[in-house]
Amino acid sequence: MEYQQIFERVEAKYILTDDQYDSLMKTIGERLTPDVYPHSDIRSIYFDSEDFRMIRNSLDKPAYKEKLRLRCYGEVSDDSPVFMEIKKKYRGICYKRRQDMTYRQALNYTVFDRKPLDSQIMNEIDYLRTGGKLQPKVLVCYQRDSFVSAEQPDLRITFDRDVRFSLSNIVLTNQKPEGAVLDEGKRIMEVKTLTAMPLWLTNVLDSLNIYPSSFSKYGAIYEKHLMKGVSRKCSKYYSHQSSPVHLPLRTTCSAR
């Protein structure tokens, strides 16, 4: 099967309560139809440097940022399709380039540096991973419900719930991630489109007091669990080893 490899779109995120979700779906439900894949069990491994350079840079909200992840949809076995993805964001536009491979090939690549194939996208992934000395840092798992607009086919809306993570068993076969990312009764909505968000959707969101958020799943895990207790303004000076047991932090900034 051939998979889409290159994506370019505008994305906006929102954090919804259960009440806001119910009100939103009552209001716009008739404008939406289930996506080709209406429900997905998504698992992603995020890669980063020893000192978490990529997520620290992302949290600073620069004009340009990027991330590297390995993603699957549903349970995996050795021969299941998975995707190594580079996701970049520049001035509000998201660009995603991904290479499909089997899970066995992904393990051979990430553990033993055996490239599964020679392609332009794979070479870009390898340059980023090896040049940045990136290693698996966190597993994020969640359930996603996906819809598309009946009037505007390029408009896609997704809802992520039951978002959980693992710092100690960072493999796609992990069935029991140990921590929750969101508070009870909340979910993440993403609006994705090739153009601007339609006015009717903007008006509905405003009427329900649903506003954009810069929320990042990996970013929230980093701040709440990897850098817990550290002042945000000093976090860029910190580094620690990749270990399931948190080692003492090293810094040149007072954590006040």
pLDDT digits 0-9 by tens, 170-205: 999 998 898 999 999 999 999 999 988 999 999 999
| Whether 87 contacts 95, CB under 8 Å | yes
pLDDT in tens, 229-255: 454 555 455 444 433 333 333 333 433
Q: What percentage of the chain exceeds 90 in pLDDT?
A: 79
CATH number for the domain running over 6-237: 3.20.100.30
Q: 119 pairs with which residues across the strands?
A: none
Mean pLDDT (the chain, rounded) = 89
C-alpha–C-alpha distance, residues 97 and 95, integer Å: 7
Length of the chain: 256
C-alpha–C-alpha distance, residues 58 and 51, integer Å: 13
pLDDT exceeds cutoff 50 at 10: yes
| Whether 186 contacts 16, CB under 8 Å | yes
Q: What percentage of the chain exceeds 70 in pLDDT?
A: 89
SS (H, E, C) 137-160: EEEEEEEEEEEEECCCCCCEEEEE
Output the CA–CA distances (angstroms, integers) from residue 75 to 23, 58, 103, 105, 178, in the order listed: 32, 29, 11, 16, 17
**Closest by alpha carbon to 116, among 86, 171, 72, 79?**
79
